[in-house]
Amino acid sequence: MSRTRLIAILTAVVLVFASTAVVLAEKPVKEKKFNIVLSGAFNMVSELGSDSDYVAGSNDFPVTPSFTEVGGGIGFLINFSESFGLNIQADYLMGTDVDKVDPSDGETFSYTTYDNLNLIASLMLKFGGKTKFFISGGAGLNILMPYDDKEETGSLGSIIVIEAPETTSNFLFAGGAGLIQPLGSMILKLEAQYIMVTDYEKNSIMFRVGIGF
């Protein structure tokens, strides 16, 4: 399934959630102690490296440009009280095409980034009335889907070897904010989360839209 089609599907889901929220907004609801939340995710990965990092023969393509990963996941929301909770989240993110450039001669090559999985446990501080706003902070793991070394051909004919990572599991830290809107016996959960993968030097902002049961 193409990334464009996935974005269209996720957008349609958001519109359905929003219209449902309007219909159910006036119904009384009691917060559950536990929710399972299914969500769609957009992960905006920041640019890594600069042209000044160029080293002929060892770092010919020093800049990894920014790109967006699309995926989905499942979360387990535990409400200890009206103002405090724990969220355990797993997001599977699909690889996307990236173009890299050799600043010395302008040669480019394209490759597909790896699929990866984020596992994050976050403490949540909630405030508000029927609609709950929250801030969160936590940690977890980024797991790269395993693959072997592979070769790509650049625009000027050079053979570029993309090496498999030495480790596929890297620690991460995450902080975010969002809101939880009751939808009758369900909830709508919107969230933006900054994620920093420490060992792999990957920083991103993830947006999630989820429905909880």
Give residue-wise pLDDT tens across range 50-100.
Answer: 999 999 988 899 999 999 999 999 999 999 999 999 999 999 999 999 999
Q: Which amino acid is at 156?
A: L
Q: How many residues does the chain have?
A: 213
Q: What mean pLDDT do residues 155-177 have?
A: 90
Residue 161 burial (C-beta neighbours within 10 Å; 0-12, 13-18, 19+): exposed
Residue 91's closest CA among 163, 49, 142? 142
Which residues 6+ apart lie within 8 Å of 208 measured at CB? 39, 40, 41, 73, 91, 178, 189, 190, 191, 192, 193
The pLDDT mean for the chain works out to: 88
For domain 3-212, say whether CATH 2.40.160.20 is its number: yes
Whether residue 25 has pLDDT greater than 70: no
Whether residue 27 has pLDDT greater than 60: no
Q: What mean pLDDT do residues 33-54 have?
A: 95
Work out the pLDDT band at 167, boundaries 50, 70, 90.
confident
Q: Distance from first CA to last CA of the chain, Å, rounded? A: 27
The pLDDT score that the predictor gives to residue 133 is 98
Work out the pLDDT band at 7, boundaries 50, 70, 90.
low
Give the bridge partners for 181, in sequence order.
188
Q: Are 108 and 102 in contact (CB under 8 A)?
A: yes
Q: What mean pLDDT do residues 121-148 have?
A: 94
Find the radius of gyration of the CA atoms of the chain: 20
What does the alpha-carbon distance between residue 121 and residue 140 come to, in Å, rounded to a whole number? 6
Work out the pLDDT band at 102, boundaries 50, 70, 90.
very high
Q: Where are the domains of the chain?
A: 3-212
Which pTM was predicted? Answer: 0.83
Q: Which of the two residues, 103 and 3, has the higher pLDDT score?
A: 103
